[in-house]
Structure formats: structure tokens, C-alpha cells
Amino acid sequence: MLQVIQEINGVTGYPICNEMTCPTMSAGNLTYTWLVDGKAARISAPKFINRVEKWIVSKIHDPVMFPTDPVTATPITFGYTEQANGEAPSGQPQQQAAGDPSQDWIGKSSGFPPTFYKDCQGIMKQMFRCYAHLYHGHWENPFWHINKHEVLNMCFVHFVTVAKYYKLVSDKELEPMQPLIDIYTKQEKIPPEALAGHWAQHSSQS
């Protein structure tokens, strides 16, 4: 879906989402900021999206965050700092102590670090912000004009279903897209168990 707004227009020489059309990473009246030199800064949507893509790729390919080797021991891990106000991560690693072997956490049995669930939440939050910008800034142009709006909707429904089921994105974060989520809820496109955060509830009780 991001590729649709990143492709260069043969007439203008610019992608649809560019520095001029999208000077900030916004979703309606809400503007997302990125940490630049430790300070929250407004940057253009294409820059924001590009940094999100690179950050997520770095996370996914980090063998400590997402190990692929057989479990041998509890790994020493590190995480990317993210400000309490919800700003995007700076990308600077921060050393953390290894998880206490006596403690349990999601993914421990498969060799994932104690920060695994929080890392997944961070990734999903940034992905949601990209969806929010696509809908608020580019729903009509290009998605409606090129008849790709149904594909975008299908992807978003799946994203919200996973986010809700595993409680990976907070209700507060979802607010910019809540009217559309409400429509999908009434249409029963999002399963009731996902809306109830079934997995997260079951996990907390087990």
C-alpha cells in the first residue's frame, strides 16, 4: 500500500506523497512527530514513512529481537528508546539487562527477549500511523481513483483485527481511525473476539 503513494508520477516527476503535498505526517487534525536529536520534530510524511520502514526492517532483522536460531539461553537484549509521550523512536540502541530467568514473559519459551511484546506494540503503532495518513491524506487520490480502495480496506481490517486481538495498539492511538473501525464493527468485519482482546485476556488469566 505504501508503494502506491511512493511511485514517481510520470507527469509531475514526484510521488503522490511528497514534501509539498504532505509537509507533515498528519491524520486529520493530528500530526505525528519524530525524534530528531532527542527532540520531537515535525517532518514530512514521506520522510516519516521512510524512517518507519527502515526502523521496522532493522527490528525484524535483529537476531536478538527476533531470534531464528534454536533456543540455547535467555538472550541479553537491547531496545530502542521511545519517549513517554508516544514519539517515534530515535533509533539509538539502549543496553538493557538480560531477563530474569525466574520471570516469565510472552515469547520466552521460543527465545524471544523480555521486550518482545513491547517491541511488537511499537512496530504496530508506527504501522497504524502510516495507515492513518494513507486514509486521511490519500484515500481519494490515489486509492479511490485507481480502484485500490477495497484492497486498502481489506489490509486495514486485517491489521485492526490483529491489533485488537493481541492488544498491540491502544484505543487512544486508534482514535484517528475510530469512525471507520466503528463501521467495520457494525458490518461484523472485525470478529467479536478480536474486539474484546480475547487473546490478551486469556494470556493475562493463564
Can you give the CATH number for the domain in which 88 is found?
A: 1.20.140.30
- Position 135 pLDDT exceeds 90: yes
What secondary structure, in 3-state letters, does the chain show? Answer: CHHHHHCECCCCCCECCCCCCCCCEEECCEEECEEECCEEECCCHHHHHHHHHHHHHHHHCCCCCCCCCCCCCCCCCEEECCCCCCCECCCCEEECCCCCCCCCCCCHHHCCCCCHHHHHHHHHHHHHHHHHHHHHHHHHHHHHCCCCHHHHHHHHHHHHHHHHHCCCCCHHHHHHHHHHHHHHHHCCCCCHHHHCCHHHHHHHHC
Q: Is 133 annotated as a binding residue?
A: yes
Q: Is 17 annotated as a binding residue?
A: yes
Q: How far apart are CA 14 and CA 19, in angstroms?
A: 9
The grid coordinates listed for 125 are 503503532
For residue range 81-100, list pLDDT tens digits in order: 444 344 555 444 444 445 55
Does 124 or 196 have the greater pLDDT score? 124
Domain range enclosing 69: 2-205
Q: What is the pLDDT of residue 85?
A: 42
Does 197 or 22 have the greater pLDDT score? 22
The CA-based angle 118-121-124, given to 5 degrees, is 155
In this prediction, residues 180-205 reach a mean pLDDT of 83
Q: How far apart are CA 57 and CA 80, in angstroms?
A: 13
What total of structural domains would you count in the chain?
A: 1
% of the chain at pLDDT higher than 70 = 78
My answer on whether omega of the bond before 142 falls inside 30° of 0, hence cis, is yes
- Position 61 pLDDT exceeds 80: yes
What average pLDDT does the structure give for the chain?
Answer: 83
What does pTM read for this prediction?
0.80
* Across 47-51, 57-61, 83-87, 184-188, least confident range: 83-87
- Position 46 pLDDT exceeds 70: yes
